[in-house]
Structure 1
Amino acid sequence: MTQTLIHRRQQSPTRGNSLANGDHLDRPTFHRLYEDTPESFRAELIGGIVYVASPVSRQHSNATATFTGWLVNYRAMTPGVKSPTDGTVLLGEFDEVQPDCMLYVLPQFGGRLCYQDKYLAGGPELVCEVATTSAAIDLHRKLKSYQQAGVLEYLVLTTDPAELFWFHRVDGKFERLDLPRDGTFKSAIFPGLWLNVEAIISDDTRAVLATLQRGLADESHAKFVAELESRRTS
């Protein structure tokens, strides 16, 4: 999600039902105010601070579409997982975010998330963010919030400079993975979810999906699908 921080307010807002960049709020207050905003309004609460979304750039929207296609194709071949985009996630007491893309295991298949009213609550297994002007937020404040919420894998694609960051949870903390020699990251949480780094950076959707198809054909994916089915409770 593209964001800009204009100013920091040290008090809760006194402007009635409104949200502004820099407001310091707890999640219940933010959520109540956010639900009263127009559908076109986008904001997140990260570490207790409100960030209102900036206009979305062409580079950001194109990269998000490629990430979305990657995850949707994986979901299509993996019963028991979902890949929503720009959906509200209630992370914790001071965090309510809308990841560009995410992938999670459904609760009835042993997933970690739960449902709170019409929203997801908790840390998704995997989150993807595209960072243009928001690189500092996605790689620092938001990274910390996702880490605290228990997210297992966190991907950030920056567009200036063009670079992919893949973080994996180790002993409760994110560690950035080194780029493999073959240029392909392979998810440790979702077997078969392979990502061609050069292709995602250059927005080569065909190459991204071709690499994913090789991952889906790997025997590890078939084993994961069987494992998910064995966990199914309904």
Structure 2
Amino acid sequence: EGVVYVASPLRFESHAEPHGLLIIWLGTYKVATPSVKLGIEPTVRLDQDNEPQPDGVLLIPESAGGQSTLSEDDYIEGAPELVAEIAASSVANDLHDKKKAYRRNGVQEYIVWQIFENQLDWFSLQQGEYVPLAADGNGIVQSQVFPGLWLSVPDLLAGNMTRVLTVLQEGLNSAEHADFVQRLSGQL
């Protein structure tokens, strides 16, 4: 939105550690889905007024039908399919200005892990608005953009990464994920 934010120093338990856990989850998905790209804190040139550096992004390469590109100087231009943010001191910015910019520019899914509130919101862009993705009865949320990207939200919030990765593996074993991998590899 044309505003420069100076990031606070990053604390360990309220940012670095949860960031690491989120990247373990996203990284495991990326390993099992070779055509997608994972980035940590990349500069994203959304538009002429917004160049955020989200904590994590998953994107589909342009050659496989993705909506963002890599510039000649190696920056993401346009909206990655998924953006994830760890929000401790930045929660107001992450849930307001950044959320608006991501929505307006077409980021299809936006995850905000609010550390102090012990809450994770996963939004899906539907008809130009962000709608929370509903968890099933076990607290599992499934990506609408990345088939097989499943998250047990209660387990992530509790730090139970064994269960988080078990649930993700169930998603990776799904027919939808296999079809997605096949579809992406056929388009490259």
TM-score normalised over the length of structure 2 = 0.96
Matches within 5 A, 1:28-39: none
Contact 2:134 2:141 in 1 (8 A): no
RMSD after superposition? 1.0
The structural deviation recorded for 1:207 is 1.6
Equivalent residue, structure 1, for 2:76: 120
For residues 61-140 of structure 1, the aligned pairs below 5 Å read 61-116=16-71, 117-140=73-96
**Which of residues 97, 102, 106 is equivalent to 1:146?**
102
Runs (4+) of structure 1 exceeding 4 A deviation are none
Residues 1:51 and 2:8 are matched in the alignment: no
Q: Which runs of 5+ in 2 are unaligned?
A: none
Amino acid in the other structure paired with 2:93? I
> Can you list the C-alpha shifts for 1:124-182, whole angstroms capped at 9, x where unaligned?
00011010011111011100010011100000000111101110011011112233212
How far is 1:229 from its partner? 1.6
The equivalent of 2:122 in structure 1 is 166
Query: Offset at 1:99?
Result: 0.6
> SS state of the match for residue 118, structure 1?
coil
Distance (Å, rounded) in 2 between the aligned partners of 1:221 and 1:121? 26
What amino acid does structure 1 have at the position aligned with 2:24? G
| Secondary structure of the corresponding residue to residue 53 of structure 1 | coil
Distance in 2 separating the partners of 1:179 and 1:224: 21
Name the amino acid aligned to 1:64.
H
Can you give the 5+ residue segments of structure 1 that lack an aligned partner in the other structure?
1-46
Structure 1 residue 194 and structure 2 residue 150: aligned? Answer: yes
Counterparts of 1:71 and 1:129, CA distance in 2: 12
Q: Confirm or deny: 8 A CA contact 1:80 1:106 kept in the other structure.
A: yes
User: Counterparts of 1:105 and 1:81 in 2: how far apart (Å)?
Assistant: 5
The structure that is helix-richer by fraction is: 2
Structure 1 Cα separation of the partners of residues 61 and 69 of structure 2: 8
**1:231 Cα offset (Å):** 1.6
Q: Is the 8 A contact 1:194 1:212 kept in 2?
A: yes
- Tell me how far apart the structure 2 counterparts of residues 84 and 93 of structure 1 sit (CA, whole Å): 21
Larger radius of gyration: 1
As a proportion of its length, which structure holds more strand?
1
Whole-angstrom CA distance in 1 between matches of 2:166 and 2:100: 33
Q: What is the TM-score when the length of structure 1 is the normalising length?
A: 0.77
Corresponding residue to 1:215 among 163, 166, 171: 171
Q: What amino acid is aligned across from residue 56 of structure 1 in structure 2?
A: L
